[in-house]
């Protein structure tokens, strides 16, 4: 059975047993289950971002405080284990209670993701 929760340790998962996934657009590594998508309406650094409950095959960069639309968050950039491409960031700490739900979640840049069936991502 596929694991739906990842911890801080890097782990490479080749497949999610037929569950639809998002893959790295550069090297096609499995990055996240489509079921783990929380919202498509986030802003990434380079465009639209997807907020995800969990993600895999990512390594964490250095923690830093970053000014985002909703305040200063402590985040770590995340990089694809397969190709080192920056995929987005991980929310370590939110500025206040209204943003707390993001802690422990991933923001993935839409431009860096493809669906495993190679269909184009939905617009808006």
Q: In the set 2, 19, 26, 115, which binds Zn ion (CB under 5 A)?
A: 26
Would you count residue 43 as binding Zn ion (CB under 5 A)? no
Span near Zn ion by CB under 5 A; candidates 16-24, 91-99, 103-111, 113-121: 16-24
C-beta of residue 95 within 8 angstroms of C-beta of residue 72: yes
What Å distances lie between residue 41 and 5, 52, 100, 112, CA to CA? 22, 11, 17, 16
Residue 115 CB, nearest distance to Zn ion (Å)?
A: 15
Would you count residue 80 as binding Zn ion (CB under 5 A)? yes
Length of the chain: 124
How far is Cα 85 from Cα 19, in angstroms, rounded to an integer?
24
Span near Zn ion by CB under 5 A; candidates 10-18, 28-36, 38-46, 65-73: 28-36
């Amino acid at each position: 059975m596929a694991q739906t929760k990842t911890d801080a340790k890097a782990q490479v998962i080749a497949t999610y047993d037929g569950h639809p996934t998002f893959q790295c657009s550069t090297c096609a590594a499995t990055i996240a289950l489509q079921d783990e998508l929380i919202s498509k309406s986030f802003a990434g650094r380079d465009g639209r971002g997807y907020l995800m409950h969990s993600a895999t095959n990512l390594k964490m960069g250095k923690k830093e405080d970053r000014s985002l639309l909703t305040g200063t968050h402590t985040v770590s950039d995340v990089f694809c284990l397969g190709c080192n491409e920056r995929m987005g960031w991980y929310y370590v700490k939110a500025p206040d209670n209204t943003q707390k739900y993001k802690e422990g979640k991933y923001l993935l840049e839409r431009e860096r993701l493809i669906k495993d069936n190679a269909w184009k991502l939905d617009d808006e």
